[in-house]
Amino acid sequence: MRPPLLLIIPALILLASCKPDGTKKAAAITPGPVATVPVFSADSAYAYVARQVGFGPRVPGTAAHAACLGWLGIRLKEAGAEVMVQKGSAKLFDGTTMPFHNIIGRFQPLKNNRILLMAHWDSRPFADHDPDPAKRDFPIDGANDGASGVGVLLEIARQLGQQDSPLGVDIILFDLEDYGPPEHKDIEWSEESWCLGSRYWARNPHVTGYSARFGILLDMVGAPDALFSQEEVSRYYAQSVLDKVWAAAAQVGAGRWFSFEKTPQLIDDHRYVNEYAGIPSIDIIHQDPSTESSFTATWHTHNDNLGNISRETLGAVGKVVLSVIYQEK
């Protein structure tokens, strides 16, 4: 993903009407049984992160990327998902064309009411923010930036396979999110170079007419010092989803990771799911306005490795998202 940009979002006018009816009493509603929320395993999520990193950098077009593609499909199938791989190609910043593979796992696919969970599974081909200039042309592990969100979603998938959720759930792992131009070289920056897999899916969903009640994107959710703020695109398109998720965080005792600080908008996958697919979606992402990048100190460096992944942070995020999924009616 890219750091915040000063982009103008057009205002929306929301119209609502209410017509009271004083002639009838509201019928008493008997609350249904509360769904039991499965226990999220932070150790399992960490192991999934470690396995991805073990393939090497998951840069599209490499052997490591191909091997990880197969492994991710197997993990989702083993969890009980109906798995699809959406193939396509996109033009990179240098004018070349690169194939991509969006991986989609569908749980309870016949249910009409659905929740969308997302992460990107590719890793950055450049360490353009590494403090050592000699290392900037080499790809990074992407343990936090990519693998952490996927690791959490794979553990959620494992739980979905053991206990049905009230709504159907789709897990989408986007490809070609992080192949934008290297910032340490004199190459013109363009928004169009980022989030290529999600842009394609948002315009060409895996099911014709696909809709979901809401979407949650996980990106950089594994740092030991992670603090997830309320990012502007998420606030603009999906404030009610932010409210739901942040309330769940407080409910399950994970509130210290979820800040109410308002942070600037990002170029990230949820943006295009909102804008093109019309699904209100939020980004659970670590932002740190005190750093030059606005992200963690490891962002797009070779220090984005397994040594900087926290089981506790993975566990907190997974616990919150599971709570949201299983309490939705």
Structural domain includes residue 32: no
Q: Domain total for the chain?
A: 1
Task: Give the model confidence (pLDDT) of 75-97 as tens digits.
Answer: 999 999 999 999 999 999 999 99
Average pLDDT over residues 40-55: 98
Task: Give the model confidence (pLDDT) of 168-220 as tens digits.
Answer: 999 999 999 999 999 888 888 788 899 999 999 999 999 999 999 999 999 99
Q: Which CATH number belongs to the domain containing residue 188 in this structure?
A: 3.40.630.10
Structural domain includes residue 203: yes
State residue 29's pLDDT score. 40
**Terminal C-alpha separation, the chain:** 32
Cβ(91)–Cβ(262) below 8 Å: no
Helices (H), the chain: 42-54, 63-78, 149-162, 196-203, 232-251, 269-275, 311-327
Q: Is the pLDDT at 316 greater than 50, yes or no?
A: yes
Q: What is the domain extent for residue 252? A: 42-327
Structural domain includes residue 23: no
Structural domain includes residue 191: yes
Of 157, 252, 269, 227, the C-alpha closest to 244 is: 252
Q: Which residues pair with 82 in a beta bridge?
A: 106
State residue 304's pLDDT score. 98
Structural domain includes residue 243: yes
